[in-house]
Amino acid sequence: MKKKLISIAIKLLSKRNYSCHELSKKLLSFCEDHSEIDYTIELLKEKKFLSDEIFSERLVAKYINNYGSQFIFLKMKFYGIDIELIEKNISEIKETDFDRALSLCEKKFGSNSNQAVSYSKKARFLASRGFSNEIVYKVLNDSKYDL
């Protein structure tokens, strides 16, 4: 059963990336024995087929251009990434939150559409993209966005 489970896991990984937690949940539908699943996960980690570090880096790369650090934090938590790894990635991302929020707002609403688009509409847009209230406030009160 172990070889079959390993081949199933490799087949799943060939289609897309999985976090360790997500893959173990997926393998539960093929085998109820947790020890075999744990063995498979550890073997895949050893062979470098499975890595939460790589998964989290790719997740960040996927979402960093359009979303804030809070959104990415929740995505990582959803996929079962270790909290220490999440904090490491988020601390790097938070440094650029303001610049990304500002560029998203300019991209969405234009650089001089201050009168046309309301303050609350911009705030809702940035908040829905996972930017903190502090970042939203800074962007909306930036000199480019004087209302």
pLDDT in tens, 27-56: 999 988 889 999 999 999 999 999 999 999
pLDDT in tens, 98-147: 999 999 988 888 766 555 567 888 889 999 999 999 999 998 887 454 44
> Distance between terminal CA atoms of the chain?
65
Q: Give dist(CA 27, CA 5) in Å, integer.
A: 8
Q: Give dist(CA 37, CA 139) in Å, integer.
A: 47
Residue closest to 40 by CA, chosen among 57, 25, 62 = 25
Kindly state the average pLDDT of the residues 15-36.
92
Per domain, the residue ranges of the chain are 2-46, 52-94, 97-145
Residue with the two structure tokens 């960040």: 60
Q: Is the pLDDT of residue 79 over 80?
A: yes
